[in-house]
Structure 1
Amino acid sequence: MKTILNLLFLSMAICAVGQNNVNGIVTDTETGEGLPFVNIYFPQLEKGTTTSDTGKFSINNLPSGTYALVCSYVGYETKSMNLVIPITEPISINLTSSAIEMEAVIISTPFHKLQSDNVMKVERQTIKELKASGAVTLGEGISNIAGVEGVSTGLGITKPVIRGLSSNRVLVYTQGVRLENQQFGDEHGLGLSDAGVESVEVIKGPASLLYGSDALGGVLYINPEKFALENSANADFGGTYFTNTQGYNTNAGYKASGEAFKVLFRGSVTEHADYNTADYRVTNTRFKEQDFKAGVGYQSTNFKTDFRYNINHSKIGIPEEIGEQSTNKTPLLPYQELTNHIFSSRSTVFFNNSKLEFNLGYIYNDRREFEDEHEHEHDHDHENDHEEEGGLHEDEEHHDDDHDALHPALQMKLKTANYDVKYHLPIMGKFETIVGIQGMNQINTNYGEEELIPNATTNDLGILAMSHIHFEKFDLQLGARYDNRWIQIENNINKSFNSFNGAFGVKTNLSKNITARLNLATGFRAPNLAELTSDGVHHGTNRYEVGNIDLKNEQNFQTDLALEFKSEHIEFFVNGFYNHINDYIYLSPDGTFIDSEPVYNYVQDNAALYGGEIGLHFHPHPLDWLHYESSFETVTGKLDSGDYLPLIPANSLNNTIRVEFDVKDSASTYAFVKLQSVFNQGNISAFETPTDGYNLLSVGFGGNLKVFNNDLSITISGTNLTNKTYINHLSRLKPDGIFNMGRNFSLGLTYSL
């Protein structure tokens, strides 16, 4: 690795340095007038600006080559164009007015294109949109994206589900690097805060070609907030209050950029009490979270790099039964205490019409679980001290913020180093090509009295090549990849897994308004440590789990077809998929008991998942401020034996009426009413029970105002307005008949300086 880095920096030093500039003007297609405040951005260079009052712009110190330039402005169609740099003449860009929302550049796919130009179908939502819907946490907000749900344990723990697949079958990327925080378990959340996050992208379907093992079901790609534009600085602070949990989250951030260097900082604090239903508070769903993010960037003509750091610390109660009714925010026993450190470095060296990207990451995850029976043994002097002071009752001790009298029953530290190096070859006619190498070294170590999974070391190595081919009437994307995973488990157990995968996709315009996308891809997943080595009671699931050291790779093949119709006032889409998985790993009861708990074994069988999404967006003329959106999602999962797979989300229908008003240079407002209809789920596995359907009504409104010449953003929302008592099929509290959250109102304020 040291040799590779030396070569990279040597290349950076000897590559040609060209002082290239791009100047131009952006005008309205109909009036010919210059448009002010248009966003001009080179996504591959992460460099941009905004137009002046007359529509003019200038971007300096650009490397030679061919790069996409994206122009976006509220009320106009987003425009993308390829520029060959150097360019000597000023460019003129015309934007056409449109009621359709601005498009964004998709970062999770390798060629950084607008979704309309992408061969793969990717869902994208900004954090601002997710929070406006009333989401309490990042995990809850992500479950509002089409095709995505969440396996939840109260509010504090949510695990993403993409088209029926979750845990190690869904890979999470944050800060441009692979996140590893023991996501194999049922009771593990994301370990991430929404503070300092700009948007979330979802690749639905096997993405092993791009990301390797564990991306068999899809990828959740979390984009951090961007640095400030060149030679600018800004700051903001704000918070949100939630009536149901009497909880809040607050955050503050600052960022500044010069011509070469840029920095950003953001901190946040979150606290929630037990959530309320119409009948009771759900004991020990309370949690606390502190989060801090920092970034430093440097950019010259032919080189850019940024280093980011994130520490997230949380205490999350693990609910067991309905008991204490209070609004205390300190978790009771049992609870988790999690600390997650993420170090990431993303760099690019620009050559003449080609570039080299290298991303490095280090994730240090410390997971501790505390239980009643694992109280710390005090020495005699400490006992006397407590007796003299009157001591602490057990209930009081449980509410002590520090829990000094406890030590963890279970403690695991997971240390992961990963690297991702990609070379973008020079564009040759219709071909854009990428070759790359990715790898990971991961060490799991136990420190507590209990051992959930053994000490082990995992090493990954993957090699990939991918091309995007542009033809006059259609685009092709194809690639291949080889991976190898080695696992060294204590007691001299060694396992090796390898897989070869490929992908093929095509996008074409069937007519002026209809676009079709067809993607065929294989994916794989190596068995995780829990599946290979478990031998004990898994708390929270109330079963004795037995692993299987002889498990094979999961290998799948998915067909994904997407059709989109888009006109000036109507958008309609249909996405369908069929996903066949060989050697699907799942738990099956064998009818025996150990320590009064039923025994479940990890076994394999072929499986298939199929379904899709249908959506409509209608914004009638001349009422361009009025929007009606409707979407339907369905997924079915079955083993070849005919049994249904567990934790498959129920079919759902969402209908939203939304209004938006933009008053340029003054204020903007929005309001929405949403009805979510979730249907009965009767397609269940052998150890599940059916779940009744329900309807949830939500409303929200907000906007931006000028206060002391600065922007004040206001969001007000209400969810589950009818205070419906219901249970989501993917709730881990379902076996105990515990309801999901009842009526909640939230008020959010953000002030920008």
Structure 2
Amino acid sequence: MKNISITMLFALLVQFTYAQNTLQGTINSQDDQKPLEQVAIYFPQLEKGTVTNADGYYEINNLPLGKFKIVISYIGFQTYSQTVEINENNTQLSLNLAPSAIEMEEVIVSTPFHKLQRENVMKVERTSIKDLKSSGAINLSEGITIIPGVESVSTGVGIGKPVIRGLSSNRVLTYTQGIRLENQQFGDEHGLGISDAGIESVEVIKGPASLLYGSDALGGVLYLNPEKFANSNEVEGDVNLNYFTNTQGYNGNAGFKASSEKLKFLLRTGGSSHVDYKTGNNQRVTNSRFNEKDLKTGLAYQLAHFKTELRYNYNNSELGIPEEIGEQSTSRTAVEPFQDITSHIISSKSNFYFNNSSLQAIIGYTRNDRKEFEDHHHEEEHEEGEDEHEDEENEEEGAALDMKLETLSYNLQYNLPKVGAVETIVGLQGMNQKNSNFGEELLIPDATTNDIGLLATSHIHLNKSDFQLGVRYDRRSIQAEASGTVGEEGYIETVDRNFNSFNIAAGYKLNVSKNFITRINIASGFRAPNLAELTSNGAHEGTNRFEIGNANLNNERNIQTDLSFEFSNEHFEFYVNGFYNSISDYIYLEPNGTTLEGDAVFLYQQQDANLFGGEAGIHYHPHPLDWLHMESNFSTVTGKLKSNGNLPLIPANNWANTLRLEFNKISHSFNNGYGFITLKSYFEQNKVSDFETSSDGYSLLNLGFGATITISNQPIEFKLSANNILDKKYISHLSRLKTDGISNIGRNINLGISIPL
């Protein structure tokens, strides 16, 4: 029996090791039949690809048998997306790509079936980090605001949190390295907590995604795609540097990656440092400075029927918390109050490929260490000669708030064999999370959270239409320990709550014609109340509020309907998206008119709420001026409580107009050359909650250009952008510094270079 087992194991290893099924072919231009070099050929499900050589030839080895989606893309040409069957030994696929002025399409990873956007039933917004950086954004949270319907709650320029169609904090889930990012995201004064270095692209699901991701995805998902490993038998490296004039800020990162046919490795390290930012009237906002260090690395091993990868991300941020316009300084060292945040993110993803089916297993571990150092208020009754002793006390005092959050998550998904036109995925997801306190103050108690969810979703592809259906069941348990002394201020009772939810989603996409697509999606979502909402009983220094939680809060539940219309041809694109989001038992803060410890008292309440709005946009590149692009988009959202009050932190309506040039289409002397000028206008926001004030409208003018130049055979990509070029003094409605009358950042010029090695 032992010999039989050894023989079977050896046979299996031989199958894994020596399977050399190959796809090969040539890619030419349809117009002149000339070969196209550097065309990307990629299997999304296998996460394996290559590029064509100077003769248009490509070859991908070590492929499993079966049918897999392949995507072939090249700038200036229509993206090809089809299912191919890999047979034993060699499979041939040669193509002629048709020219197109429309931007190259990419595969959407945040939805389970890995399709191009035009093939998806659910509409997902996608943008590359390169595009975000070209806009001059200082950080990732600011950069994603170029996506219609997405804004950011900010505390200066160092702390920002995404807002998707009026919902933020625990209602928007962030995914990185294929796992959920858990970093005490319940607070709007907590930043996103991840660097854009080593991130390839951003995908945004605007609407309930509880079917795919469970609790906390009630408002949407921000999905960060890490950079890919190098193609087989290739070595790559690059250095990227940026300087920002307003904050005298610099950030940079350097990366290296190498791959053999089976083993792959990558490493990227970087950091940034900024002084206090200047407003439009040339005043620096005291203690808005911040510093960041980041490291990302990965190791992968790939056979024909098996692929596994391990990734690790270390990030440390020191973030000043601005409170006033005081001392005008260009120091880079944060002064109290400030946050010191360290995150460790480890993820393991393994894929097993069978005949026309596959299994994916993702396991993640995150540790978030959050420390907040506050102003020390010592008694002023000191005799002469005690100043030196007081300084020593200040240096020795530890963090007022010191929380450690550890999360172990898992995600198993099995792609069943395709039956006719039906693709189906079943999955099991969950997490175990522990929050611990070590500081002198307590914001939320020590607690343990456990999640488990079961899901099934199917995509049905018909001739001119597609359906997508899904169901999911979740259970979350929260156990929080008591804190403090009974009867005294700040006492928190024990919490032991269980929350259950059953959710469904249905979508339909109709190809009305070759150029016209319409989609309708209806989905339910849920969110269990977080620890702060259930247990708070004290001053929250970051928000200047005394918050009192409610241990009897119910699940938030919502149903959102999305309707979209899209038209596109070679030179014109137009879209309209509309949504209506009905939320039951919406949790919100409301002041009760009293104060404690000098802070206004806010209570957590529940009430039904509705949000509605949408986005519309056009993109025109007139023939024969394919180098000229005119783009315009408008976004609006309204949030109402059942009592007819307005929801807080609802973004103002905004309208962005961009004129963009592609210089490389004018002359080949401008390699990858581009230029743009954008006017983004925010309208007055007077639909505010009872404890907000209205905000005036304003317009910001931004411009930029870039190109790749070659010096001594070394290509160097450079970019120059200027945001708020007119140095406008303004205050965003989503700025947490608005209550102190502190303006947002003034003119900021960004110079960046990228050097491939």
Interval containing the TM-score (normalised by the shorter chain): over 0.9
Q: Is 1:281 aligned to 2:272, yes or no? A: no
| Counterpart code for 1:100 | I
Aligned twin of 2:154:
152
Whether 2:335 is the aligned partner of 1:329: answer: no
Instruction: Please say if 1:747 is aligned against 2:751.
Output: yes
Alpha-carbon deviation of 1:685? Answer: 0.2
Question: Which string of whole-angstrom CA distances, capped at 9 and with x for unpartnered residues, describes residues 11-48 of structure 1?
Answer: 98698774311111112222223222211111111111
Q: 1:110: how far off?
A: 0.5
Q: Which amino acid in structure 2 is aligned with residue 120 of structure 1? A: M
Equivalent in the alignment of 2:609: 607
Structure 1's 212 and 537: CA in aligned 2 closer, same or farther, altered over 3 A? same
Question: Which deviates the most, 179-188 or 28-37?
Answer: 28-37
Deviations 1:371-411 (A, max 9, x none): 12289xxxxxxxxxx99xx95996xx99xxxx953310110
Name the structure 2 match of 1:163: 165
The residue that corresponds to 1:22 in the other structure is 23
Residue number in structure 2 paired with 1:512? 514
Query: Partner residue of 2:417?
Result: 426
Equivalent residue for 1:217, pick from 208, 216, 219: 219
Is 1:596 matched up with 2:598?
yes
- Equivalent residue runs for 1:311-710 within 5 Å: 311-373=314-376, 404-491=395-482, 492-662=494-664, 667-710=671-714
Once residues 506 and 453 of structure 1 are traced to their aligned partners in structure 2, the CA distance between those partners, rounded to angstroms, is 42
Distance 2:744 2:14 in 1: 60
Instruction: Tell me the amino acid that sits aligned with residue 438 of structure 1.
Output: Q
Q: CA deviation at 1:666?
A: 7.5
Cα distance, 1:582 vs structure 2 = 0.3
- Normalising by structure 1, what TM-score? 0.94
Counterpart for residue 254 of structure 1: 256
For 1:651 and 1:105, the matched residues in 2 are separated by 30
Closer, same or farther: CA 447–231 of 1 in aligned 2, 3 Å: same
CA contact (8 A) 1:701 1:717 kept: yes
Aligned positions of 1:38-53 closer than 5 A: 38-53=39-54
CA contact (8 A) 2:589 2:603 kept: yes
Q: Deviations over 1:262-312 (max 9, x none)?
A: 111111110000000133100000001010111111101111111110010
- Matched residues in 1 for 2:395 and 2:236: separation? 41
Other-structure match for 2:304: 301
- For residues 644-698 of structure 1, give each alpha carbon's deviation from its aligned partner in whole angstroms, at most 9, with x where no partner exists: 0000000000000000133669822000000000000000000000000000000
1:71-90 correspondence to structure 2 within 5 Å: 71-86=72-87, 88-90=90-92
Contact in 2 for aligned 1:374/1:408 (Cα 8 Å): no
The partner residue of 1:202 within 201, 204, 208 is 204
Report the alpha carbon displacement of residue 704 of structure 1 after superposing the two structures with TM.
1.4
Partner SS state of residue 650, structure 1? coil
Residue of structure 2 aligned with 1:722, choices 713, 722, 726: 726
Q: What secondary structure is seen at the aligned counterpart in 1 of 2:142? A: helix
Taking a change above 3 Å as real, the CA distance of residues 570 and 12 of structure 1, as seen in their structure-2 partners, is: farther
Distance (Å, rounded) in 1 between the aligned partners of 2:388 and 2:572: 69
| 2-structure distance, mates of 1:92, 1:632 | 41
1:243 and 1:574 map into 2 onto residues whose CA distance is 37
Deviation track 1:54-82 (CA, whole Å, cap 9, x = no partner) reads: 21211111011211111111110111111
Q: Matches of 1:23 and 1:372 in 2, distance apart?
A: 65
Offset of residue 458 of structure 1: 0.1
Match of residue 291 from structure 1: 294
The TM-score, its normalising length taken from structure 2, stands at 0.94
Residue in 1 that maps onto 2:4: none
Alpha-carbon contact 1:12-1:303 (below 8 Å) kept: no
Q: What's the secondary structure of 1:621's corresponding residue? A: coil
Q: Secondary structure at the match of 1:530?
A: helix
Find the aligned partners of 2:31 and 2:244 in 1 and give their Cα distance: 46
Letter in 2 for 1:296: L
Contact 2:670/2:707 (8 A) holds in 1: no
* Matches of 2:712 and 2:232, distance apart in 1: 24
* Structure 1 residue 595 displacement after superposition: 2.3
What corresponds to 1:378 in structure 2? Answer: none
* Contact 1:654 1:674 (C-alpha < 8 Å) held by counterparts: yes
Q: Helix, strand or coil for the counterpart of 1:738?
A: coil
**Structure 1 residue 187: Cα displacement:** 1.3
CA displacement at 1:238 relative to structure 2: 2.1
**Which region of structure 1 is more displaced relative to structure 2, 73-82 or 675-684?**
73-82
* Residue aligned with 1:128, SS: helix
Matched to 2:749, the amino acid is: F
Tell me if the contact between 1:520 and 1:560 (Cα under 8 Å) persists in the aligned partners: yes
Distance in 2 (alpha carbons) for counterparts of 1:302 and 1:90: 20
Q: Deviations over 1:165-203 (max 9, x none)?
A: 000000000011110000001211111111111010000
- Deviating above 4 A after TM superposition, structure 1's stretches of 4 or more consecutive aligned residues are 9-17, 390-394, 663-666
- Alpha-carbon distance, 1:321 to partner: 1.2
Distance 1:84 1:735, change over 3 A: same
Contact 2:560 2:579 in 1 (8 A): yes
1:456 Cα deviation after fit: 0.2
